[in-house]
């Protein structure tokens, strides 16, 4: 999951995909049910956390999906342990270009307002950071329950600042050509936190990456476009599953 968010925010994807796949989502250190962990984090260290989870699950390989900061972690995971990945999906994320990866001015204002303005400020700024105004209006009274998943148990400031340290130091652009895992890039066209052009930069650098566009979606595309995204994830994963062994017919065994 992304910056400061618990793994439960993957609910729209896990609820659907666990019908026919084994799914794992987790809380980053300092978030949700996880231990506090060290203060300053780096994206590579968070990728090592993910590898340890795969090891604990005894999953030799997995389809990896990451959104925003989670997408940065997924890039490092693909670069460090590409043999563990059957496929890769990067949602609303970037490769760390120093200037180009900056949010829009409105996105930057809403981000820091939510970060340092207290719970009331977060409740007001987070929806406008994640979603276009028209979608917020369409949610109506469901907005409060939706925000409770994201803000019901916010991480401590030390965790937020530690993750921010890692995000600002993230840099993979010069290495992205080394990713040979089949990759799907999800591009929300109205994202004000990570500009849509960042997906274009990833597409230009990751060999044979496929781009899925949601031109009317914001940074919170995993919720706003859950049905369409889940369909695309299922198709992407299905294309890159190991081929099932051929089943020998009873007739063939009898004739032999």
pLDDT value, residue 243: 66
**Contact assessment for residue 187 and residue 201, using Cβ atoms and an 8 Å cutoff:** no
Q: What is the pLDDT of residues 31-56, one digit of tens each?
A: 999 999 999 999 999 999 999 999 99
Q: Token pair of 249, please? A: 């017919």
Q: Token pair of 75, please? A: 């890039």
pLDDT value, residue 88: 98
pLDDT value, residue 251: 43
Q: Which residue ranges in the chain fall short of pLDDT 70? A: 243-256
Rounded to 5°, angle at Cα 64 from 207 and 131: 90
Q: What interhelical angle do 69-80 and 157-168 show, nearest 10?
A: 60
pLDDT value, residue 247: 52
Taking the complete model, does pTM exceed 0.85, yes or no? yes
């Amino acid at each position: 999951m992304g910056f400061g968010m618990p793994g439960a925010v993957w609910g729209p994807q896990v609820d659907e995909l666990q019908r026919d796949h084994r799914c794992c989502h987790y809380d980053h250190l300092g978030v949700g049910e996880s231990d506090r962990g060290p203060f300053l984090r780096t994206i590579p260290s968070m990728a090592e956390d993910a590898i340890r989870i795969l090891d604990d699950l005894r999953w030799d390989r997995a389809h990896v999906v990451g959104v925003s900061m989670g997408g940065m972690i997924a890039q490092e995971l693909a670069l460090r342990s590409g043999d563990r990945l059957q496929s890769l999906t990067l949602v609303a994320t970037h490769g760390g270009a120093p200037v180009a990866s900056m949010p829009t001015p409105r996105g930057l204002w809403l981000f820091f307002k939510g970060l340092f303005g207290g719970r009331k400020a977060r409740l007001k700024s987070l929806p406008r950071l994640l979603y276009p105004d028209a979608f917020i209006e369409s949610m109506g009274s469901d907005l409060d329950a939706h925000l409770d998943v994201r803000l019901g148990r916010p991480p401590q400031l030390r965790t937020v600042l530690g993750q921010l340290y890692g995000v600002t130091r993230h840099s993979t652009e010069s290495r992205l050509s080394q990713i040979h895992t089949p990759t799907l890039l999800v591009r929300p066209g109205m994202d004000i936190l990570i500009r849509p052009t960042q997906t274009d930069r990833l597409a230009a650098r990751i060999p044979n990456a496929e781009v899925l566009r949601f031109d009317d979606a914001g940074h919170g595309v995993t919720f706003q476009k859950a049905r369409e995204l889940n369909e695309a994830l299922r198709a992407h994963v299905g294309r890159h599953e190991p081929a099932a062994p051929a089943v020998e017919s009873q007739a063939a065994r009898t004739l032999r």
